[in-house]
Amino acid sequence: MAIFRAEIVFDNMKGKYYVEMFYPENATRPFVTSDSIYESEEEAQNDVILKIGLVYENSKR
């Protein structure tokens, strides 16, 4: 069961992707949005996974 969702969106003005995070997963507006810094959807997805992993690892300390 998902408790949040991440959507990767293309910024036509900048020609790059950004990430919107929604919580709870059925929210209509994101609670946080990244800058348009990603060259590809894959790069954005990998960065989201990396950052979630870092937060999890740091919380175990």
List, in order, residues 6 or more apart from 20 with CB less than 8 Å away. Answer: 6, 7, 9, 30, 32, 33, 34
The pLDDT of residue 61 is 72
**Mean pLDDT, rounded, of the chain:** 93
- Summarised one tens digit per residue, pLDDT across range 31-52 is 999 999 999 999 999 999 999 8
Q: Give the model's confidence band at 1: pLDDT under 50 very low, under 70 low, under 90 confident, else very high.
A: low
